[in-house]
Amino acid sequence: MRLLRDDSLDSGNARVGTRFWIYPQPPFIPGYEQPDRVWLSIQRDEIGDGPSDLSMYVADPLYQKQPYGFASLPPFGGARRAPIRPGPDRHFDNIDPTSRPFLAVHAYACVRFVLDIWQSYLGRRVRWFFDQTYPRLEIVPFVDWDNAQAGYGFLELGCSDIDGVIRPYALNFDTIAHEVGHLVMLSETGIPAATSADSDFFSFSEAFSDCVSLISFLHFDSAIDRLLRRTRGNLLLYNELNRFAETSPETQIRLATNFRRMSAVTREVHDRALPFVGAIFDTVVALYHRDLVAKGCADSRLLDLDLRKLAADEFDTFRQATADAFNTRPLYFKQALIAARDAVGTALAVSLKALDPSRLRIDQVARAVIAAADGATADMLEENFAWREIIGTR
Ligand SMILES: [Zn+2]
C-alpha cells in the first residue's frame, strides 16, 4: 500500500494543474444543475489556502460587507471567514458545491479559468493595471449588494434577491467572466487619462467584457456539446431566425444574438455595446459555418447568401442538411466551433495593445481587431462590422 501513497506514482499528473468545480451557468439554469470538473493551469504547489496565489487571493468577509467605492478600497480589513484548504491531494474539488465555503472556491476558479484563456490568447501573463499599488487582485465572493464590480485591485460579487431567493453572483460564471474582462482590458490598454464626451471607451469596455464572457463560456466542453446538440449544429441558421437565441438559457448567447446596428442604439453604454458583441458572435458563427462547408458538412450555397433575407422554408432545407451531417460527424462540428472561437478570441485579445484608451472610437477598435486577425477571420470580421455599421463598407 505504501506505493499508492508515493508521489512518484502521480508524477504524470504532478505538473498539469489543479482541479476545481465550475458551473458554466448558474445552477438554477435548466440543463446546468451540475458543475463541470475543470483543470486550471496553475499548479497545486502554487495555490495556497484561500484559495490564493501570486496574482490573486480570496477575502471572504465574516459579516456583511458594503461594496468598495471611492472612499474604501482593498485590502479588506474586517473579520474574514477561514481560508478554504484543498483536499489531501491538494486539489480543490473536494468542497461541497452546495456549501457556503464553495462560493470562495468557485469565484476563484472562475477568475483563474478566464484568465488562463485570455493569457493564452495574448501569449503572455496579464499584468494588473493596479500592480503598482496592489501586487494581487482581491476577490470578495460575497458582499451585501445586488451587483458585481471589478475595480482598482478588487473584484467583488454580491447577490440577487428575487422574492427572497438569494442567488450569489459567485456562482454565476457569466458575471465573473464579464468582470475579469474589464480587468484584462484595462491591464492591456491602460487607464484613460481623460475621456471626451464622444469617447467609446466605456461602451467598448462593456462590449469587450461581454465578448470575454461569451468566448470563455465556449471553453467548457459541456457547454459546446449542449449548444451543438440542442441546435443540431445549426448555430447560424437559428441565430438568423432568432428562435434559438430567444429560448436559449445561456445569458451570453441571448445577448450576443442581437440584430442591433449602430444607427439603432442610444449613447447608453450597454446599449451601444450590442452591435459590437453581435458582430463578434456573428463572426464566430460564420467562421464555424465556413469550416463546415469546407468539410462537406453544410450546404456550400450558404456562403454566398444573405441569410438575413432567406424565407423560412429555405431555412428548413439548409437546416436539415446540416442536422443530417451533425448526426454522422458531430466531432467536426465541435472542432469547427473551437477553431472559430479561438481565431476571434485571439484577434480580440491581441488588438487591445493597439488601442488608445483616451481617444477610443468603436470604428478604430473594429479596425484594430481586423488587423490582428488572419485572412479569413479578418474578412469575416470586416463584413460583420460593416453590417453593424461600426465601420463603413469599402
Ligand atoms: Zn461591465
Task: Give pTM, 2 decimals.
Answer: 0.92
Ligand 1 center to residue 116 CA distance, Å? Answer: 20
Give residue limits of the domains in the chain: 4-189, 201-387
Q: Give, in order, the Cα–Cα distances in Å from 206 to each of 56, 153, 270.
A: 23, 19, 6
What are the pLDDT digits (tens) for 343-387? 999 999 999 999 999 999 999 999 999 999 999 999 999 999 999
Ligand 1 center to residue 346 CA distance, Å? Answer: 21
Ligand 1 center to residue 55 CA distance, Å? Answer: 22
Which three cell numbers mark 188?
492591456
SS (H, E, C) 1-65: CHHHHCHHHHHHHHCCCEEEEECCCCCCCCCCCCCEEEEECCCHHHCECECECCCEEECCECCCC
φ/ψ of residue 21, rounded to 5: -105, 135
Structure confidence at residue 298 (pLDDT): 84
Q: Give, in order, the Cα–Cα distances in Å from 87 to each of 31, 49, 80, 323.
A: 28, 11, 21, 44
Structure confidence at residue 7 (pLDDT): 45
Ligand 1 center to residue 272 CA distance, Å? Answer: 12
Highest mean pLDDT among 3-12, 28-37, 302-311, 326-335 belongs to 326-335
Which three cell numbers mark 157?
460579487
With a pLDDT cut of 90, the percent of the chain lying above it is 68
Helix (H, G, I), strand (E, B) or coil at 195: coil
β 154-157/148-151 pair status: antiparallel
Which three cell numbers mark 290?
465556413
Ligand 1 center to residue 339 CA distance, Å? Answer: 27
| pLDDT band per the 50, 70, 90 thresholds, residue 237 | low
| C-alpha to C-alpha distance for 210 and 253, rounded to whole angstroms | 10
Burial 27-37 (b: 16+ CB within 10 A, else e): eeeeebeebbe
Does 240 or 333 have the greater pLDDT score?
Answer: 333
Ligand 1 center to residue 148 CA distance, Å? Answer: 9
What are the pLDDT digits (tens) for 130-145? 999 999 999 999 998 9
Contact predicate 103/182, CB 8 Å: no
| C-alpha to C-alpha distance for 313 and 330, rounded to whole angstroms | 24
What would be the CATH architecture of the domain defined by 4-189? Roll (3.10)
Ligand 1 center to residue 209 CA distance, Å? Answer: 6
